[in-house]
Structure formats: structure tokens, C-alpha cells
Structure 1
Amino acid sequence: MARIKRDPKSVDLAHKIIEEYEPKSVDDMQNALKDIFGPMFESMLQGEMNHHLGYESNNKGEKDSPNRRNGYGKKTLHTRSGEVEIDTPRDRDGSFDPQLIPKRQKDVSAIEDKVLSMYAKGMSQRDISSTIEDIYGFSVSHDMISDITDAIFPELEEWQSRPLNNCYTFLFVDCMFTTIRNDYETKKYAVYTILGYTMEGKKDILGIWLNETESKHKWMQIFDEIKARGVEDIFFISMDGVSGLEEGAKAIFPDVIVQRCIVHLIRNSIKYVPSKDYKAFTASLKKVYGAQNLSACQSAFESFKQQWSAYPGAINVWTNQFHHVEQLFDYGSAIRRIMYTTNAVESIHSSFRKVTKKGAFPNENALFKALYLRIKELEEKWEGGHIKNWSMVMNQLLVHKDLEKRVQKYS
């Protein structure tokens, strides 16, 4: 396997750091980086001063300028690697107002936050380094970017094992696949994701898990785990058609109502339909699952079977799973709109793909890191919001006799 190509300047710098500091641990490396930050920030501030005055230090233009350098002041900066003391340049008339580290600002961890944000958006280390250089005028090595992003691992581990709510009204479960380089080959891995809706109508990603395949056994392990982390009850689970998944969910949460995703059923059935008939076929289906009541749904289904009898494979998909369609009409329209599809979690996977599309990851940790940073961005967007028409959903849950006591227990 070919070695990773490194920037010679970065390699030279790394060798000098190792020779100077002789690091024996990650903490030693962090201390070395902290020492590097000081000269780096000082160099950037000197560049700003040169631009402000219009000439570099010791330039002959200084003699003719009404404003000159006037020594240095001391400043202690807060970075993610710890406290760093720097010398800040001053000018004679006090008009120098640095932009990178403004006067009276001491916290510069925002630069590191920007690196994390760019990484979360799927930018490569090369792109991040180039962007930082364009904005701030200095380069950041790939290794430094990796060090900055690796700092979130303790937070990720804490998040992945955190206690969960004791009850979720809805869970949406799904898998997506991405690629990891494993020794000398690339291999597809399944990313398991669970999205929950709390009793307050808030979105909560319960966790992400990796496995080489999607299987009911892995889902069983995941359901066992979330139960151990505090989940006592789940009202509804929406899922695709993985064999044994419904039985596995009910083995852990006996009272859960499992709903097959209607969108997945549509996708499975149109495999048997010529593309010229897609539009008319799906329009007929919508009259079935979108009916006003169960009687209208059953009537529409009989018409649907007659209309599309030329495609028995498509009809069989719906006949075999029609009890999941009928089940929808046990509940009010606000509940049906939520439970009938796994689109909510598939939307998260769509967001994940913006990160994973850049190519294969070198290991599982690199993938977890990228996905977790993406999750943090999603959670910031969800902050303060709630599911549309949530009050109507709660009212419809309360009038359902099998759910009323459970709602009251956890409200």
C-alpha cells in the first residue's frame, strides 16, 4: 500500500518538534502544539501591523511615517490546547486594531471551532488547510487539523453512552452504507441510525452504530443497548423491511407498534412496474394509503389491484404488507403523517452523505468523528424547535385507549 504523501514542510516541522520536545504521549504533543501557537499568532499579528502601517519592520519608510511601531504588550490567549502567552505589537498613536485577535479578546478557540465546522461539512483536510490560509494568511498542516478534530473523541464517547429519555413517542430506524479502508482493501460498512421524538416533540438522535452488514441481530443488540441506557417505552417504530426486525424490536419493547415504511413499500413495488407507468401507478397507491378512513382505504386497494393486475409482482408487495397499511387507520391523521415513513431518519442520512461522499475513510474512528460533528450541526439547527402540529399529535395519542395511560405515565 502506497504511503500517504505529506507536505515536505509539514514533515520538516514535525521532525523539528519531535527533536525539540521529545514527546512521549499525546499530552506531550498537545503541549508542543501549544508552544507553536504562540509564534504563529505573533507572526499573524505582525503581518496585520505591516498592513496597517504600510511597510514591514525596519523598512526605510518607517522614518517618514507619522505612526511607528511602539514595542509590545503581553496577552494570554485561551486555546483548546491551553493558555498561550504572546507578545502583541503596538503602534505609537494607538490606532492599530487587529482583526484576527481583536483588542480585549483572549479566547481564540473559535479558529479551532471553524476547523471542526468545516470538517463537519465534509471538507477534506486539504480544503480546510487552503481555506484557513486564504482567510488568515497562514497554513495549517493536515496533522494539526487531525489533532484538532481528534479532540472531540472524549465528547463523542460520552454522547454515545449518555442516558436516554425513558420514553419516546416515535423512533425511526434505518441504515446507510459507506466505505472504510481496511488494510489493503476498501469495504462497505452499515451505519445504523436511530432518531427519536420525545414526549415534548423534540428530535433526538439516540446514537450511531457500525457493522459490516445490516442484520436483525445487530438491531437486537442496539435495542438492548438503548434499553440499558434508560429507554423504558416506545410507542411507535417506523422501519424498512429487514427480515426479523419487527420481531426483534417487540422482543425488547413488547408494547411497541411497528410500522413498515410506506415509502419503502412504494420503492419495492415499482421494481415490477415499467418506468412509463410509474406516475400513474404511484398516483393509484396514494389513494390507498392517503385515504380518509379504513373503509375508503380498503375500497381503493381493491380498485388498485384490478387496475394493475398486469403487474402481479407489484401487487404482491402490497398484499403481503397490507396489514401495515390498515394499521395506519387505527390512529388520527396527525399520527399517521409521522408514523407512515422513515423519511425523518433518511433525511439525516442525506446529511451524512454530504460528509461521506468525499471517499473512503481510513478507519472507523475517522468515520465516527465526521458523522458526530455532522450530528452536532443538526442538533444546533433543531435547538428550540419541535415537530409540526405536535399538540395535535399528543391529543390524538390521548384519545387512543391503548396509549392514554402510557402517555400520562411519561408526561
Structure 2
Amino acid sequence: MNPSHGDVADLKPLTSLRFVAAMMIVVLHSKLYFSWPWLQHAPGSLVQGVSFFFVLSGFILSHVYTSKPFPGYGRFMFARFARLWPVHIFALLMLVTFVRPDSITFDGPGMFSKWYLLASNLTLTQSLFPFTAYTFSYNSASWSISAEAFFYLAFPLLLINIKRTWHWKMAGSALVAVVIAAIYHRFPSNGDMDQITIASALYANPLVRGFEFCLGMSTWVLWDRYIKRSQLSLAAWTAAEGAILLIITAWLSISIWPVRNGIPPSALQVIFHENGSSWAFAILIAVAASGRGLFGKALSAKPLAFLGHVSFSIYMLHQILMKMFVTWNQAQTVSTVAFLAALIFIASASYLMIEKPVQRLLMKRHRPATSQSIIPQAGGAKVHTPSELVADQP
């Protein structure tokens, strides 16, 4: 079938991979709240799940907006707003309603007052502040969508001539991260939540984390140019998938991260600790995107695809649910199955009753103006309406 001009291929395996990335963070944070025996073997390198998010986001946004006319900067940013804010606000309401007050957020003097922290959360600007008190205030998971919001601001410019300039943009984003690291490398390794440390200055910084987003965009270019049309057999695709899965599993499980307990981190060590697996995730995304191997086909199954759709709510609500169990004095008694069942139920309800309805309402009220494409278009296999083309987040 020859796709019509402006259609967008539906890369179902990537939807399911969003669930995998979200669960990496869920397992990581579970170690803070629960005493399940199997958690003892969960590596700290699962923190790389956020890096997985960022690479996926750059890839998917590039895929969508090179396959259809660009809607204009205002329309694009409003679509991002419609994607992020409904669940973000719902999560904040859940937090302040069901979690005990001393577990809601940090509260200090001056600029560290909980009201200033709340303002930064509501505006998704907390990633700009080089303090842990801001980064992990209120729903701490929202720091990543704060960083993502700044990627969105830059995306239309990064997208221009991306097929010819991808390598410069990826190299430039890496250079920016190194320069920021050099600026902060003399700051202390440890400190209070209202003090600047190497980690607090670099962990959520959009200028540092932007490399992962640009890597995702660059990976899309290489996938579109060399991999998408590759005529390999099912066995060859499956072998490629298996190889990169083994590499990622080994890379994460042997805990080769240079930042460990008791060892003061340097700036570059902090960066490597947070996005040192981004290259492996990029390869996995490129290999699995078309769903031509057994792993990719499995990821295309409807149950996994649904979990992928609700993964943003899973990510945004998981730590709030953990704090709720602590508030209710149930953290030591709840089982893994019970917690995951509750999380998926609440996330599904959020997706079906908050995320999608509010998103459709907002997009319906914000009618598109005349659009102009800023780059050549590529075909796809499935037609989407504009309101559907906002699901790049995990």
C-alpha cells in the first residue's frame, strides 16, 4: 500500500517501549518505599529510564512532524500543553489530597517557600533551578516533563533541515552539556536541598539533558535513511533485537556506573550516570521501531500498546501512590501484585477520564490555522487526526 501524502506511520512498538521506560523508574522508586525481597537485586542504573524517555521523545516527535505539515509554533506548543498539563495537574491534586502534609514537598525560607516551589511546578519551570528542593518538589517525577517542555520550545528550530544537520545538532548538544559540566565542576559534591551541588545543577538541567533528545532526533534520521526500508528476514531482525537487548541488560545489570555511594562524583560522572545508556536505547529504538522482529511484533500486541498509552499516567502517579501507601501505613504490607494492580487501575482511569478527554477538549477548542511544512515530508502507513499526534511522552 502506498501511503498518501502527509500520513504518519504508526510505530506501535515504540508505544509499548514507553511502558518499559516507565516501569524502570517505578521499580527504582519502589526501593525507597517497599521491602519486597526481589527489589534487592534491582540496579540503581534503572534511573536511566528517564534517558530512555528523552531519546524516545526526540525520535517520535521527529517521525511525526517530518511526516505531515508543521502546524506552526503556537499550534505545536498548545498541543504539547494539552498533552502534559491535564495529568500533571491531576497528579498535583492527588498529592495534596491523599498524602500527609510532611511528605508533600520541601518547605523553606525565602525562595524555597513551598508556594514558590508550587509556582515553578505549575509552570513546569522547576528544572531551571539548580537546587534539589526545586527539582524534586511536589510530584518529583514532574521534573522530567519540565525539562521536556524546554525541549519542545527548541524542537521547531532543531527540526529545520534535520536530515542534513542532525550530526551538528547532536554534537552541539553534547558540547553544551560538557560546557555546563565545566561550569559546575568546582561546586561541592554534597549539600542540603537548598544548596547548589554538582548533581543538583546537572541532573535536571535541560541544557544538559537536551543531548538525549537530540540523540533521539538523530536516531530517527538514521532509521529513516538506512533502517526503515531494510529488507531483512524475520530471523535477522530478531537476531538484531536480541543482540541489543543482551547488551542493554548487561550494561544495566553489571552496574558499571562511576557514581556510587561514598564516592564524590565529578560533573562528567554525574552526566554519565544519568544518560550513559542513551546510546543503547537509541539503537534499541531504531531496531524495534518497525516491528519486524519477534520482539517488535510482541511489542505491537494490543495489551502492551494499551499499557504504553497509559504509561505517562503510570509515570506521573506512581510515586504519589507510593506516598499514599505510606500515609495509610500500608507500605510494609502491600504486595507487589497489589501495588501494580492499583497503579495500573489508577493510571488507566487517569488516561481514560482525564488525559484523553481533556486533551480532546483543548485541541477541539484550539482550531489549527493554515499550516506550512518546514521540511520535506515522508510517507507513512496510518492516518492520524491532529488531536492524536501529541502522544510522544512516556
TM range (shorter): under 0.3
Provide TM-score, normalisation by structure 1: 0.25
**Which structure has the highest helix share of the two?**
2
Which has more strand, going by share of residues? 1
Greater RCO structure (CA 8 Å; 6+ sep): 2
Considering only CA atoms, is the larger Rg found in Structure 1 or Structure 2?
1
Could you tell me the TM-score, scaled by structure 2's length? 0.25
